[in-house]
Amino acid sequence: MQAVNTPRRAGPAAVPFAAGTGGRRGRPRGTSAREIEVISLRLFTERGFDETTVEDIASEAGVSRRTFFRYFESKSEILWYQFDDEVTQLRAAFDRVPARADVMTAIREVVVSVNHYGPEDVAELRARINLIGSVPALQASATQHYDAWERAVSDFAAQRRGEAADELIPLAIGRSTLAACRAAFDVWVRRGDAELTVYLDAALTALGGGFAG
């Protein structure tokens, strides 16, 4: 149904020698995905997403436009550079859930546990979510990345229910869970009065209760 996640990401040679120039072979990198991300995040918030060209970003990073596209397959992929890692964490956390725990409760606890951010990351996270929520081009690019996140949840639900992940209920659980989390993210960004985890817990508790009351 949906295409497999594109393997292309990170740098020219995917996962080459972690960081550092230590003991590699050819010409060293002119920049890094992380550096491009930081530069872009600044330019996007200053001038706006559409008003920032790839040329602008590449120029500030000290590389050519062509090289930019060797680090990110599109301009909007920059903001998702980190997000994808969370999916890995999510799957790992699901694997550690005790066998007979209630499904929706387990999902809530896992999702909340994965979303503990240190105070030093909050500012950047806010900026990122803010951009994703306000720029249409970025909202559009979200779908692909959400798919992987949803599937992690669907896979867990399917396994516990003894069904396939593409059956109606596991599919609905995966997607509804993300939907509730996105609501939590948005409200958290708008009113910064509490921890993100508080909103996530509230949204997922309501989801698990069928939004009764």
Give me the 2-21 binding string for a copy of itself, x by CB under 8 A, dash otherwise.
xx------------------
* HSE-up of residue 143 (Cα within 13 Å, Cβ side): 6
Sites for a copy of itself among residues 92-111 (CB under 8 A): 103-104
How far is residue 41's CA from residue 126's CA, in Å, rounded to a whole number?
11
Q: Which stretch binds DNA (CB under 7 A): 37-45, 70-78, 106-114, 164-172?
A: 70-78
Sites for DNA among residues 33-52 (CB under 7 A): 52
Helix/strand/coil for 30:
coil
Give 155: exposed, middle or buried? Use CB within 10 Å, 0-12, 13-18, 19+. middle
**Phi, psi torsion values for 18, nearest 5 degrees:** 55, -115
Identify the CA nearest to 153 among candidates 127, 171, 135: 171
Given a copy of itself, DNA, none, residue 48, with its beta carbon under 5 to 8 Å by kind, binds: none
Examine residue 30 and tell whether it contacts DNA (CB under 7 A): yes
Q: Provide the binding-site residues for a copy of itself, judged by CB under 8 A.
A: 1-3, 103-104, 133-134, 136, 139-144, 157, 166-169, 171-173, 175-176, 178-180, 182-184, 186-187, 190, 199, 202-203, 206-212
